[in-house]
Amino acid sequence: MTASGRRTIQIVSHGPSCLDGVIAAASVARFYAGNRLKTTLAANQDSDRTLCGIKPRDEGGPDELWITDLSWNSPATGEHLSAIARSGVQIYWIDHHRTAVSRADAPEFKVPFKGRVLSERYSAARLTLNYLKMKARALTPEARKNFESFTPFAMIADDHDRWVHKIPASPDWALAVQTLGGMESYREIMRLKEPRMTRRLKAALEAGRAGMAHSFEIASATMVERQLHNGIAVRAASCFGYSSEVAARLYAGCVRTVVALFDLRSQGVSLRRSADCEVDLSELARTFGGGGHAAAAGFATIDVSRAPAEKLVELLGRRLESSSAEPARIAR
């Protein structure tokens, strides 16, 4: 491909450290190998801001914009995407989160997409790869072969994201990506011809195992449980990363249980549930401005972020104001 024939492909996928979002982005990048690629991994709470920063085609914007494993909430974002589409940017959107699928006809999604796939059948990485395979007929035989060789990566992401776990190594890949970070993992994965971890990914996996154990210790020490009148049990705790793995250990053996973890690292709240629990966590998270799936969702709110500090102020305040306190000892 000559330099004049290269296209600018901008990819915005779910991040900052989501295996499915990373593999979905890498699937697009593999398909468009040889073109100018710009990849961004955005957290859910940053999706509107990130997408509104995409420039129109006539102002240096991309030829194509791929939004994978991610949605947005603001009608203004939909209006901006419509405007850049009119400028000539071809926009593709692929997502599998229930909060996107259930709102497919919402005003903010009334965008003239070049292509759109919203389905809960597979993870975003697998949906993206399958969609691109239909376009792969336009590739040269060699380019098509190189792209389709990426299929095992998408299957690993799908296996873990949907919690199928028929591929033994899929949790390790998720843990390595979460530890190394989304963009660094994306760069490492783009170098691979088959799903064998590089030294950096292997080192991240080992560090992740230690980090996950530490995070679980924090969760165990801070967990509070409440039994609700409707029979649902809520287990809430703090953790330091690895929320999916920690939550799985907290709801193990429980019935009708919702686990809520405040991640001290990301400042977000992760929601998970026991297998028999009927609560739609995506709808619960939506009430707080978040989203996700029925069995796994999340959101961010300043109320929870400030809670530890507010509790600490209350605790110290009672002590400092106590009539029985000894000022001289407290001063020391």
Answer yes or no: is pLDDT of 87 > 70. Answer: yes
Confidence (pLDDT) at 129? 98
3-state secondary structure of 264: coil
The string of pLDDT tens digits covering residues 21-50 is 999 999 999 999 999 999 999 998 899 999
- For the stretch 208-226, pLDDT in tens is 999 999 999 999 999 999 9
Cα distances (angstroms) measured from residue 86 to each of 17, 31, 55, 63, 111: 32, 25, 12, 12, 10
pLDDT band for 2, please (50, 70, 90 cuts). Answer: very low
Given pLDDT bands bounded at 50, 70 and 90, which one contains residue 326? low
Query: What's residue 4's pLDDT?
Result: 46
> Average of pLDDT values for 158-185?
96
Residue 289 has pLDDT above 80, yes or no: yes
Confidence check: pLDDT of 97 > 60: yes
256 and 276 Cβ atoms separated by less than 8 Å: yes
The secondary structure of 99-136 as a DSSP string is: HHHTTTTSGGG----SEEEE-SSS-HHHHHHHHHHHHG
3-class state of residue 54 by DSSP: coil
Q: Is the predicted pLDDT of residue 98 greater than 80, yes or no? A: yes
Q: What is the CA radius of gyration of the chain?
A: 22
Q: Evaluate whether 3-197 and 215-300 have a shared fold.
A: no
Q: What are 262's strand-pairing partners? A: 238, 269
331: pLDDT strictly greater than 70: no
- Which pLDDT does position 198 carry in this prediction? 97
Domain limits, the chain? 3-197, 215-300
Output the CATH code of domain 215-300: 3.10.310.30
Residue 3: predicted pLDDT: 42
For residues 166 and 161, give the distance between their C-alpha atoms in angstroms, rounded to a whole number: 12
Q: How confident is the model at residue 325 (pLDDT cuts 50, 70, 90)?
A: low
pLDDT digits (tens, 9 = 90+) for 104-127: 999 999 999 999 999 999 999 999
DSSP of 67-85 = EES-----HHHHHHHHHHH
Q: What is the residue-wise DSSP string for 125-170?
A: HHHHHHHHHHHGGGS-HHHHHHHHTTHHHHHHHHHHHTT---STTH
pLDDT at position 291 = 87
* Cβ density class 197-232: b for 16+ within 10 Å, e for less: bbeebeebbeebbebbeebbebbeeeeeeeeeeeeb
Place of tokens 């028999």: 276
% of the chain surpassing 90 pLDDT: 83
User: What pLDDT, on the 0 to 100 scale, is given for residue 266?
Assistant: 87
In 180-256, beta strands by DSSP E: 224-227, 233-239
Tokens 């955005």 -> residue: 42
Beta strands 115-118 and 90-95 are parallel
Question: What is the rounded average pLDDT for all residues in the chain?
Answer: 93
Q: Top-level CATH class of 3-197?
A: alpha beta
Contacting residues for 65 by C-beta, under 8 A, at least 6 apart: 10, 11, 12, 54, 81, 84, 89, 90, 91, 92
* Contact assessment for residue 218 and residue 262, using Cβ atoms and an 8 Å cutoff: no
Residue closest to 114 by CA, chosen among 57, 153, 154, 167 = 57
Mean pLDDT value across residues 275-289:
93
Is the pLDDT at 330 greater than 70? The verdict is no
